[in-house]
Amino acid sequence: MAAKLLIADDEEKIARMAGSYLEASGFSVVLAFDGAQALSLFASEAPDCLILDINMPKADGLEVAKAVRKSSNVPIIFLTARTDEVDRVIGLELGADDYMSKPFSPRELLARVRAVLRRCPGGSLETAAVGAAADPGPRDETAAKLKCGDLELDLKKRGASAGGRAVNLTAIQFDILRLLMREPGRVWTRLEILERTVGACYEGYERTVDAHIKNIRKALGDDSDDPRYIGTVRGVGYRFIEGPDEA
C-alpha cells in the first residue's frame, strides 16, 4: 500500500507541483493550503508523513507541528523559505524530522520523504525504498532488544522504556538513542550522529543535533546538568553514559 503524504503550503502552485511529483513516484497525496485545513486533514486522513510550510494562515507550520506532536509521532518535514538557524532549531525542537528550504528540488524532497519513512515504524517500505543510509543498528542483527541500565529499546517494535515507563520517541530520536546506546562511553560528534542516523541527503546544520538530544532528554526525564543517560562532551558531541555513577 502506498504511503499517504499530507502537503500543507499556502502557495498552491508549490503544493500542487510537489504533490504531482510525489504522486508520480508512487505516493498518495492530500493537499492543504492553510494550517487549519492541515490539522483537519491530518485528523481525517491519517497521513504517514507531513510536509509543512511554516508561513501559513490560520495556524502556521510550527503551530501545526506542535498540535500534531501532542498525539502522534508521524514524520514531519518542514518546507519553507525561512532559513534562519533559529527557525530550523525551533522546528526540530517541536519534533520535526527534517527541514528543507525553498527553492527546493522535488527529487531531493522525494529522497527525504523516503528517508523519514524508512526510519518510521509503519511506513511504506515499498515506496520508501530509496532513502538515506541510516545506521544499520546493533552489530548483532538478531538482537530484539538493546538494554543499558534501566533503559531499554525494542528494536523490532521501535519502542523505548526507562525504568519500566514507556518513552515516546520520534523515528529520528529513536535512531539517535539507538546509536548512542550501541557503544556506551563512545563520544559521537554531531556530524557523525547526523551521518549515521539521517544520511547523506541531510541539509541541516550540525547544531540541529542539539535539538534532537534536548527532545530525547525531555522524553527520558534526563537532566542535562546531571545526566543519567546522555552526557555532553563540550566542543565535541555526545555519549551514552556507561554507568549510573558516571557524570
Cα distance from N-terminal residue to C-terminal residue, the chain = 47
Q: Give the integer Cα–Cα distance in Å for 77 and 143.
A: 31
For residues 135 and 241, the model is more confident at 241
Q: Give the integer Cα–Cα distance in Å for 117 and 112.
A: 9
Q: CB atoms < 10 A from the CB of 126, how many?
A: 10
Position 133 scores a pLDDT of 38
Nine-digit cell at 218? Answer: 525531555
User: What are 74-116's pLDDT values in tens digits?
Assistant: 999 988 776 666 666 677 777 788 888 888 889 889 988 988 8
Q: CB atoms < 10 A from the CB of 82, how many?
A: 19
Contact 48, 123 (CB under 8 A): yes
Position 204 scores a pLDDT of 54
User: What are 145-203's pLDDT values in tens digits?
Assistant: 899 889 999 988 888 999 889 998 888 899 999 999 999 999 999 888 888 887 654 55
User: What are 4-49's pLDDT values in tens digits?
Assistant: 999 999 999 999 999 999 999 999 999 999 999 999 999 999 999 9
CATH number of 4-119: 3.40.50.2300
Does the pLDDT at position 239 exceed 90? yes
Q: Give the integer Cα–Cα distance in Å for 221 and 209.
A: 18
**Could you give the maximum distance between any two Cα atoms of the chain, in Å?**
56
Give percent of the chain above pLDDT 90.
46
| CATH 1.10.10.10 is right for the domain spanning 145-240 | yes
Domain boundaries, the chain: 4-119, 145-240
Position 202 scores a pLDDT of 54
State the chain's mean pLDDT as an integer: 82
